């Protein structure tokens, strides 16, 4: 299951993570977010132990969303060692996201 990222645990779980972190910025009411949700869950399972795959609800966690200028959802950020190395806005295929993750592992 994808890790739940919040404003509270962001510093410790993402910025202090010496590895690859994938964050799915989403909201319950967002149709495209619900479409990509199962893909994120599959990637979380497949990359368990290799990368932290998480979801951040923009409605309940406005600080991180504002920090990264998230204006459209779903937005996927890929961070390595706490720095943004890739970004994808909108829906996409599992293979596209897997390729982006692999490029930074």
User: Is 30 assigned a catalytic role?
Assistant: yes
Beta bridge partners of 87: 77
Catalytic residue among 6, 17, 27, 30: 30
Which residue among the candidates 5, 14, 33, 73 is catalytic per the annotation? 33
Annotated catalytic, 33? yes
Question: Residue with structure tokens 């619900």?
Answer: 34
Contact, 77 vs 68, CB < 8 A?
yes
Q: How many helices (H) and strands (E) does the chain have?
A: 4, 5
Active site residues: 30, 33
């Amino acid at each position: 299951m994808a890790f739940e990222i919040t404003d509270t645990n962001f510093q410790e779980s993402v910025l202090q993570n010496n590895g690859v972190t994938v964050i799915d910025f989403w909201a319950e009411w967002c149709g495209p977010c619900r479409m990509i949700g199962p893909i994120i869950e599959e990637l979380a399972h497949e990359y368990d132990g290799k990368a932290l795959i998480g979801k951040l609800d923009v409605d309940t966690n406005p600080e991180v969303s504002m920090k990264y200028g998230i204006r459209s959802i779903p937005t996927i950020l890929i961070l390595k060692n706490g720095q943004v190395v890739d970004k994808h806005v909108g829906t996409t295929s599992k293979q596209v996201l897997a390729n982006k993750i692999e490029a930074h592992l």
